[in-house]
A and B are shown apart, each in its own frame.
Chain A
Amino acid sequence: MFKDLNPILHSQLRLAVMSLLISVKEAEFTFIKEKTNSTAGNLSVQIQKFKEAGYIEVKKEFKDNYPNTTCKITPQGIAAFEEYVKTLQQYLNVKHK
């Protein structure tokens, strides 16, 4: 019996954001926006969803007199991502058989 894929992660933009954040310690909003080719508005909405789920930590501060948002994946986010990848692998293994 397969588990359902986590709906919070199973979306193109949200998965792209999590994959990026899992590879780094923390990243600025502009970096995530640039790498995911997303719009600021859409990205803000997705980041808010992650924040509410407890998957990422959002830090707002000033850098060179400009507001700067930094995102960091939480241990809960890492666990959810690992679980998602495991489930994906299960699906793909069955499809190969």
Chain B
Amino acid sequence: MRLLKNYIMATETQFSERQSLELITTMINKAKNDYVETGISALMWGSIVTFCSLASFINYYFQWQWTKYIWYLAIIAVIPQVIISVREKRKRKYKTYSEDAMGGIWISFGVAMFLLIYFVNTFKVQHNEPLFLIIYGFPTFATGYARSFKAMIVGGIACWVFAVISMYIEFPYTMLLEAGAAQLAWFIPGLILRRRYRRARQHV
């Protein structure tokens, strides 16, 4: 025991200023690199919005009854999203400052979406797809920008470009743009995040 104490004392006295600085850098990087998102939420929303958009597009030609209600799927998906968020939060052993900011951005997106859906349905707003695409771009770009995640930056910009294009084209082709936006903004970034997450888990 005394030997161990002596060893600790010896190593502590040999601890140089340069070593201190190296240790600080190492630990900050350890904390920074530990944060890996699972990508499940992005994959889920990317799949749902793509599926609903393509179903609406196909419905224009086939007039299937069930596809009329397809967008309710996006409302129902809020339930698994809440469960996923709660579970992921419980699993995490630490909290970051950016996590709070991201949470605020995505909650405000959820509220904005809810109000927009209400407005569009109550007042029967036609040709509303550009509005949705503009809103899709906002949290996607903000997340990508804050996390330096290029795929989401590209996805956010793609939403806005598609929003401009959709102002000049008619339904059902606007639905193809919605599907494309969902793929670029969420599904593809989700796949990248998932791959990163799996790789990180293998190294643990």
Cβ–Cβ contact A20 & B27, under 8 A: yes
Q: Is B28 an interface residue (CB 8 A)?
A: yes
Classify the secondary structure of A's interface with B.
helix
Across-interface contacts of A19 in B (CB, < 8 A): 23-24, 26-28
A34 to B24 alpha-carbon distance, docked (Å)? 16
Q: Scan B87-105; emit 1 where CB is below 8 A from any A CB, else 0.
A: 0001001111101100000
Interface range on chain A (Cβ under 8 Å from partner): 20 to 34
* Residues of A close to B32: CB separation below 8 A: 23
CA distance A92 to B22 in the complex (A): 12
Q: Which of B11, B20, B30, B100 is within 8 Å of A15, CB to CB? A: B20
SS class of chain B's interface: helix, strand, loop or mixed?
helix
Q: How far is the CA of A92 from the CA of B32 in the complex (A)?
A: 25
**Interchain residue pairs A-B with the least CB separation, the first 5:** A19-B27, A31-B93, A23-B31, A27-B94, A25-B95
Q: How large is the interface on B (under 10, 10 to 19, 20 to 34, 35 or more residues)?
A: 20 to 34
- Whole-angstrom CA separation of A20 from B33 in the bound complex: 12
Extra inter-chain contacts (16) besides given A10-B15, A12-B12, A15-B23, CB under 8 Å: A11-B15, A12-B11, A12-B23, A16-B27, A19-B23, A24-B95, A24-B96, A25-B96, A26-B95, A28-B94, A35-B30, A35-B31, A36-B27, A63-B90, A91-B17, A92-B18
Q: Across the interface, do A30 and B93 meet the contact criterion of CB distance under 8 Å?
A: yes
**Are the CB atoms of B21 and A92 closer together than 8 Å?**
yes
A88 at the interface (CB under 8 A from B): yes
